[in-house]
Amino acid sequence: MTVSFYSGQQIPLEMHKVRIVQKLNLPPVERRVEAMKEAGYNTFLLKNVDVFMDMLTDSGVNAMSDRQQAAMLEADDSYAGSATFTKLEQKIEEIFGKKYFLPAHQGRACENILGQVYVTPGKVVPMNYHFTTSKAHITVNGGTVEEVFKDEALNLTSEDLFKGNVDIDKLVAIIEEKGADNIAFVRVESGTNLIGGQPHSVENMKAVRKVCDQYNLKLVYDISLLADNLYFIKTREDAYKDASIRDITRELADLSDILYFSARKLGFARGGGIATNSEEDYLRMREFITLYEGFLTYGGMSVREMEAITVGLDETMDEEYIAQGPQFIQYMSDELQKRGVPVVTPAGGLGCHIDATRFLSHIPQEQYTAGALAAAIYIASGARGMERGTMSEQRDENGVETLAHMELVRMAMPRRVFTLSQINYVVDRIAWLYDNRELIGGMKFVEEPKVLRFFFGKLDALTDWPTQLAKKFREDFGESL
Interface ranges with ligand F0G (CB under 6 A)? 57, 59, 106-108, 131, 133-134, 189, 193, 222, 224-225, 262, 264, 272
Q: Which is nearer to ligand F0G, 103 or 442 (CB)?
A: 103
Using the minimum distance from each CB to ligand F0G, give the nearer residue, 378 or 465: 378
Q: How far is the CB of 432 from ligand F0G (least distance, A)?
A: 26
What SS3 class is residue 175? helix
At position 213, the amino acid (one-letter code) is D
As a whole number of angstroms, the distance between CA 292 and CA 195 comes to 30
**What's the closest the beta carbon of residue 227 comes to ligand F0G, in angstroms?**
12
The active-site residue, picked from 41, 240, 368, 454, is: 454
Strand order in the sheet with 219-222: 100-104, 272-276, 258-262, 219-222, 186-189, 124-127, 144-147
- Residues 224-247: b if buried by 16+ CB within 10 A, e if exposed: bbbbbbbbbbbbebeebeebebee
Query: At closest approach, how far in Å is the CB of 131 from ligand F0G?
Result: 4
Instruction: Provide, rounded to whole angstroms, the least separation between the CB of residue 315 and ligand F0G.
Output: 19
HEC string of 91-118 equals HHHHHHCCCEEEEECCHHHHHHHHHHHH
**What are phi and psi for residue 420, nearest 5 degrees?**
-65, -30
Residue placing its CB nearer to ligand F0G in the complex, 274 or 423: 274
Active site residue 454: yes
**Residue among 272 and 441 whose Cβ is closer to ligand F0G:** 272
DSSP class of residue 349 equals: S
Contact 343, 333 (CB under 8 A): yes
Please identify which of the residues 44, 76, 132, 437 carries the catalytic annotation: 132
DSSP conformational letter for 315: H
For residue 201, give the 3-state DSSP assignment: coil
> 33 vs 114, which CB is nearer to ligand F0G?
114
Catalytic residue among 101, 131, 185, 328: 131
User: Is-catalytic flag, 76?
Assistant: no
What is the closest distance, in whole angstroms, from the C-beta atom of residue 143 to ligand F0G in the complex? Answer: 16
| 3-class SS of residue 275 | strand
CA distances from 114 to 55, 121, 189, 265, 323 (A): 29, 14, 14, 19, 31
Nearer to ligand F0G, 59 or 468 (CB): 59
- The residue annotated as part of the active site, out of 222, 257, 314, 355, is 222
Catalytic annotation on 265? yes
- Judge residue 420's burial from the number of C-beta atoms within 10 Å of its C-beta, 0-12 exposed, 13-18 middle, 19 or more buried: middle
β 124-127/144-147 pair status: parallel
Which string of DSSP letters, residue by residue, matches 388-411?
Answer: ESGGGS---TTS-----S--EEEE
Least distance from ligand F0G to the Cβ atom of residue 472, Å: 31
Dihedral of alpha carbons 97, 99, 104, 105, sign: positive
Residue closer to ligand F0G, measured from CB, 306 or 470: 306
Q: Describe the chain by its helix, strand, coil percentages, rounded to 5.
A: 45, 15, 40
Catalytic residue list contains 297: no
Is 79 one of the catalytic residues? yes
Minimal distance, residue 446 CB to ligand F0G, in Å: 24
Beta carbons within 8 Å of 386's beta carbon, 6+ residues apart: 43, 44, 55, 56, 57, 374, 409, 410, 412
| Nearer Cβ to ligand F0G (455/477) | 455
* Shortest reach from residue 133's CB to ligand F0G, in Å: 5
In the DSSP assignment, the letter for residue 151 is G
Q: What pairs with residue 346 in β-bridges?
A: none
Where in the sequence numbering do the catalytic residues fall?
79, 131-132, 222, 265, 388, 454
